[in-house]
Chain A
Amino acid sequence: MGKELILVFIAASITNNFVLTYFLGICPLIGVSNKIESAVGLGLATTFVMTMAATVTWLIYNKILVPFDLVFLQYVTFIMVIASLVQFVEMFIRKTSPQLYRALGIFLPLITTNCAILGLTLFMVLRNYGFLESVVFGLGAGVGFTLALVLMAGIREELVFADVPEPLKGTGISLIVAGMLALAFMGFGGIISG
Chain B
Amino acid sequence: MIREFTKGLWKENPIFVQVLGMCPTLAVTTRALFGFSMGMATLFVVVCSSVVVSSIRRFVPRQVRIPMFTIIIATFVTAADYFLKANFYQISKALGPYVPLIVVNCLILGRAEAFASKNGVGRAFMDALGMGAGFTCALVVLGSVRELLGAGSVFGYRLMRDGFTEWVVMILPAGAFLTLGLLVGLFNIINSKKRGAVRAG
Contact = CB atoms under 8 A, between A and B. Distances in A.
Interface of A: 20-27, 30-31, 72, 74-76, 79-80, 83, 112-115, 117-119, 122-123, 126, 165-168, 171-176, 178-180, 182-183, 186
Contacts of B178: 175-176, 179
B60 interface: no
Interface in B166-182: 169, 172-178, 180-182
A25 B96 CA distance: 17
Centre residue among B25, B178, B185 by max chain A CB count within 10 A: B185
Of all A-B residue pairs in the complex, the 6 with the closest CB atoms, nearest first, are A179-B177, A175-B181, A26-B22, A167-B188, A176-B181, A179-B178
A175 B175 CA distance: 10
Given A172-B182, A180-B174, A182-B174, A72 B78 contact: yes
Contacts of B27: 22-23
Contacts of A22: 23, 27
**Secondary structure class of chain B's binding surface, majority of residues:** helix
A179 B103 contact: no
Given A76-B75, A80-B71, A175 B180 contact: yes
Interface residues of B, number: 44
B122 interface: no
Contacts, number: 126
Given A75-B78, A119-B23, A123-B97, A23 B181 contact: no
11 contacts: A23-B22, A27-B20, A27-B22, A30-B22, A74-B100, A75-B100, A76-B74, A79-B74, A119-B23, A166-B192, A178-B181
B170 to A, nearest CB: 11
Contacts of B66: 83, 112
B97 A23 contact: no
B74 A119 contact: no
Contacts of B20: 27
Nearest to A123: B97
Given A20-B173, A167-B192, A172-B185, 18 more contacts: A23-B22, A23-B24, A27-B20, A30-B22, A79-B70, A80-B67, A112-B66, A118-B100, A118-B101, A119-B97, A119-B101, A165-B185, A168-B182, A173-B181, A176-B182, A178-B177, A179-B181, A182-B177
A115 B181 contact: no
Interface string B7-43: 0000000000001101111110000000000000000
Given A75-B103, A118-B103, A122-B97, A23 B74 contact: no
Contacts of A23: 22-27, 173, 176
Contacts of A122: 97, 100-101
Contacts of B189: 167
Given A76-B71, A186-B172, A174 B101 contact: no
B107 to A, nearest CB: 10
Contact of A115 (B67, B78, B101, B175): B101
Given A75-B78, A167-B186, A179-B181, A113 B174 contact: no
A17 B172 CA distance: 13
Contacts of A118: 100-101, 103-104
